[in-house]
Amino acid sequence: MDTKTILLDVGGTYIKCTDGRQIPVHSDGDRSTIGAAFRKAIGPMKGVTGIGLAIPGPFDYKEGRFLMKHKFASVYGERFKDVAKVPESIQLRFAHDVNAVLIGAISLLGLQERNCALVTLGTGLGFSYAIRGQVQCNGSGSPARSLWDVPLPGGGILEDELSARGICAEYARLTGDTNRTAHAIARMGYSGEPTAIQVYEHLGARLGETLQGILAEIDADLLLLGGQISKSIDLMIHPLRDVLKGVEILQAPDTAVFEGLSCLFKDKSNNQEYLCQCSRNCSSPQL
Q: Is the pLDDT of residue 272 over 60?
A: no
Contact status, residue 83 vs residue 31, Cβ threshold 8 Å: yes
Beta bridge partners of 277: 137
Q: What is the pTM of this model?
A: 0.90
Q: How confident is the model at residue 63 (pLDDT cuts 50, 70, 90)?
A: very high
CATH number for the domain whose boundaries are 99-256: 3.30.420.40
**pLDDT tens digits along 113-172:** 999 999 999 989 999 999 999 999 998 899 999 899 899 888 899 999 999 999 999 999
- CATH 3.30.420.40 domain span(s) along the chain: 5-95, 99-256
Q: Is the pLDDT of residue 255 over 50?
A: yes
222-226 and 116-121: which strand pairing?
parallel
Q: Is the pLDDT of residue 1 over 50?
A: no
Q: What is the mean pLDDT of the chain?
A: 91
The CATH class of the 5-95 domain is: alpha beta
Percentage of the chain exceeding pLDDT 90 = 83
Closest listed residue to residue 251, CA positions, set 264, 240, 243, 266: 240
Q: Starting at the earlier edge strand, list the strands of the sheet with 22-24.
A: 22-24, 14-17, 5-10, 50-54, 91-95
